[in-house]
Chain A
Amino acid sequence: MRRALGLAVLSLAVVPVARLTGQDTSAVDRGVRIGILYRPGVRPGIVVLTGRVPALDSLRTIMARDIDYSDRFELITLPGSDSIRLAAPVPTAGSRPAAGTASGKAGGGAASAGGLNYPLYQALGADFAVALTAAAADTAVVTVHDVAAGAVRRELRARLPALTDAGFRMAVHRLSDRVLEATLGAPGIAATRVLFVMDGKVYVIDQDGADRRLVSSTDHAALSPAWAVDGRRFSYMEFWQGHGRLFVQDVATGKRSPVATTGQALDFTPAFSPDGKTLAFSRAIEEGTDVYTVNVKDGCCLQRLTVGRFYDNLSPTYSPDGQRIAFVSTRAGLPQIYVMAADGTDQQLFAPFDYGATGSSNAPEWSPDGQAVAFHRDVAGTLQVFVLDVRTRAVRQLTSVGRNEDPTWAPDSRHMAFVSDRSGYRQLWIIDLETGRIRPLLQQSGARLPAWSPRLPETAPSTP
């Protein structure tokens, strides 16, 4: 308890004040509430057991990393856990007979539960243990043990493509997300990807930094990729002889099509409406830059949402309910974050600022849970990532080391990818807002304008 308290104090000192939203207090299988209310520095421990099937090593490595990167657990690594398990006495399987069978989904787990030394793992700080076995050549079985309850929580089966198959990693990521669902009742973000721009081309990378691929490359420099909420399409802008043309590209087929009515002016920063029918974007003409929408489903119906003859309006981002659009406006001089109804009415300041003191604010992105808008703001000549609480309109600075810009939300609304030069050059990083933990996504200079995908649909082929 003293140690936990110390950790908590330490964490409070280091970690920015966490949002107390989005905490998982949902009931789990047995109708028992588990204590996942956020306590800084105290997270449930989980151990991914090493097995004796070398074929599962890749699966285990990817899954352990996914669990680690979820930032919801203390990942306990036990290099010699096999020997510990084998040497440990078999626990009294009958001590908690109801636990394993209370849930229908947990059926069949009793056999493997019998082999696990729950008191030992409990002593090591594990609340959950994950064991991997192979049921058939192409089927993996993930047994999720509830160590505290001394029983199997759930047994997950998944057919996995061959290790050499391009879809292997994404299949494992999906399995990881199911483990998170089974343990915490909260969906994970393992099966997601991040689009970004590098050297004028659009790339995509898995959230764990693996599998970087080029998805769009022409002679025209590309900017500002953005996902459709269904994860099946994305949009981006290309320079065409000084004009900006928007494209929508299908993830599965790789086929792209120009967005109607764009390309005659400088059109940029596309953003899909949540229903996927409308694309909001910025259009720069001689009069200035304004926010427009176009119906991408029918390729029609251009609408102008803002009229800023002597100032600019740009970078629209939809609220997840599709009712509102946050955007950047220079109506007060420097660019700041504003909000309007999705039809352009009721425009008002969104992120408060001190006139004459607060620096430029740009690149807003509404969080998938609708509760926050991330953006970057000029602080003493460099950019820092900020988060606006939509309900209270309180603004909080998230970063302070180096230059940090262009934040993009993960679908869990607690992770965020952004560009930072904290390592000496600009590269992509990921931050967990609740723990403050930061990790590089891509250790390569020049990557920018990241866009984090929604949870990707099962049917989306792994090769875009």
Chain B
Amino acid sequence: MKRLPLLLLSGLAVAAVAACPGKKPETTPLPQGPNADSAAEAERLRADSAARAEREAREREEAERRRQQAIADSLAAIGKTTDAVKTMLATMIHFDYDKAILRGGDAAVLDQKVAILQANPGLRIRISGHCDERGSDEYNLALGNRRATAAKQYLVSHGIDAGRVETVSYGEERPLDPGHNEDAWSKNRRDEFDILAGGDALKQP
């Protein structure tokens, strides 16, 4: 609305300019018959319609701009949700040394993943099991497999379709922390959760 006066002004200005050539006959009103009058009238109407067309065009433009803004705003909102959900989904769970048993405290983390998977039926994920460097290199591949499978079984037992969850194991081959102490080891004994498909727009559970 703010723009309207300006629009009208500019419309008038256009009309004035357009009327300019017609000003002379007005200042010297010679009785030249109805032809002269109708010409001036036509000229004025033309100017009015041009101004109106311009105004309408500008209004359309404005509406389109606002529509685009609304789309962008809602997309950003979805993106924020998707990022938040992705962060929740990526939360890792951890294990005791040489164990593939889920810790009690991780149930809440997994429940969150169950909810996310339920709210987003198109989502497919991959769970990768990892180990610390203390065990045997090759045995750790089997142990990591057990860790990934333990988390998957939890999800499946809470109603998630098994086909939506893939499991892999990297043993001790991909440590998060390269350190050689319990601090590093405890971080490395983990399950990671990655999105395989359907993660472009995620709903909050």
Contacts and interface: CB of A to CB of B under 8 A. Distances in A.
Interface residues of B, number: 22
Interface stretch (A58-66, A73-81, A159-167, A280-288): A280-288
B138 A268 contact: yes
B168 A243 contact: yes
A363 B138 contact: yes
B138 A269 contact: yes
A406 interface: yes
A289 B145 contact: yes
Given A221-B173, A223-B173, A266-B145, A406 B137 contact: yes
Interface string B139-154: 1011101100100100
Interface in B119-163: 126, 128, 134-139, 141-143, 145-146, 149, 152
Contact of A360 (B137, B139, B167, B168): B139
Interface string A262-306: 000010110000000000001011101100000000000000000
A449 B139 contact: no
Contacts of A334: 98
Contact of A328 (B126, B134, B139, B170): B139
Determine the interface band of chain A, counting residues with CB < 8 A from chain B: 35 or more
A165 to B, nearest CB: 36
Interface in A232-268: 239, 241-244, 266, 268
B141 A362 contact: no
A355 to B, nearest CB: 16
Given A242-B168, A266-B168, A268-B141, A363 B146 contact: no
Contact of B142 (A284, A363, A405, A406): A284
B173 A312 contact: no
The binding surface of chain A is classed by DSSP as strand
Contact of B138 (A221, A243, A315): A315
Interface string B67-87: 000000000000000000000
B169 A362 contact: no
B43 interface: no
Interface in B162-185: 166-170, 173
A282 B142 CA distance: 9
Nearest to A382: B134
Question: Which 9 A-B pairs have CB atoms at the shortest separation, nearest pair first?
Answer: A242-B168, A362-B136, A284-B145, A289-B142, A312-B142, A362-B139, A286-B149, A314-B142, A269-B138
14 contacts: A239-B170, A242-B166, A242-B170, A266-B141, A268-B138, A288-B145, A312-B146, A334-B98, A362-B139, A363-B139, A405-B136, A405-B137, A406-B137, A449-B137
